[in-house]
Amino acid sequence: MEPLRTLDPPRALDPHRIDQPAFTPAAIARYLRLPLRTLRWWALGTTVHEPPLRIADSQEHLMSFRNVVEIHVLKAVVGDERGHVPLAVVRGILSGLGEQLGSEHPLSDARMDTYGKEFLAASLGALAHGTREGYRALSATLALHLGRIVRDGSGEPTRLLLFTRPGPSGPGHVMMDPEVRGGQPCLTDTDVTTSALAARFKAGEPVLGLARDCGRSHEEIEEAIRYEMYPG
């Protein structure tokens, strides 16, 4: 493993970096633990329906870090299976939210923590959860997902703390940062990729040894390996 580099706190990013086409559907499906067909449905649409999201490069089917954040939030809204809520309904509601916020990417907007969360919970709660408690359930799920987004002083997303267990649940020990390892999942606040940790573990190195090399707790190392080897 390369020497550990502990990172500085997230700084403001160049908006062009946040919006740069960088990720394939297959990569994001793996990072966010989504079926590939679901992610493609959300990001690319179908021959009949336009997608609910505006991705960075629709011709080359490439997504930006901002798109990754949007998909992370959309997963909270409609779950991880295509067809749970009709795509046309989702697209229409997101279009209305975008108009209210004056944003082409409302799901990544900092105002999702307040107005946006309430708008979606009220609009989609019953549809997404199918119960009278839908509003409350969706609001709580959105809060969990929005709490994983790290923002700079202007409200732009700079890091995403990935869920490492089903639920969603798990501590925020794995991150995506577009300025670190090209956005590959890494041990939070370092440039050590989860794939590198998992490879060394599979080669026979013990967790305590990896923790010592990284200068991190064994709980952090275990969570990074769990994320990489046991996708939820």
According to CATH, where is 1.10.10.10 located in the chain? 162-232
| pLDDT at residue 80 in the model | 60
**CATH of span 162-232:** 1.10.10.10
Longest dimension (CA), the chain: 54
Which residues of the chain are modeled with pLDDT < 50? 1-3, 82-83
Distant-in-sequence contacts of 103-111, Cβ < 8 A, 24+ apart? 104/54, 105/54, 105/66, 105/70, 107/53, 107/69, 107/70, 107/73, 107/74, 108/66, 108/69, 108/70, 108/73, 108/149, 108/157, 109/155, 110/151, 110/155, 110/156, 111/155
Q: Tell me: the pLDDT tens digits for 91-147?
A: 899 999 999 999 999 999 999 999 999 999 888 876 655 666 778 888 888 999 999
| pLDDT at residue 78 in the model | 82
| pLDDT at residue 131 in the model | 65
| pLDDT at residue 170 in the model | 83
| pLDDT at residue 11 in the model | 56
* CA distances, 41 to each of 49, 123, 210, 230 (Å): 9, 21, 39, 25
| pLDDT at residue 83 in the model | 47
Can you tell me the distance from the alpha carbon of 221 to that of 174, in angstroms, rounded to the nearest whole number? 10
| pLDDT at residue 187 in the model | 95
| pLDDT at residue 26 in the model | 96
Of 3, 6, 59, the residue nearest 187 (C-alpha): 6
CA dihedral 199→200→204→207, nearest 10 degrees, is -120
| pLDDT at residue 160 in the model | 97
CB of 28 closer than 8 Å to CB of 63? yes
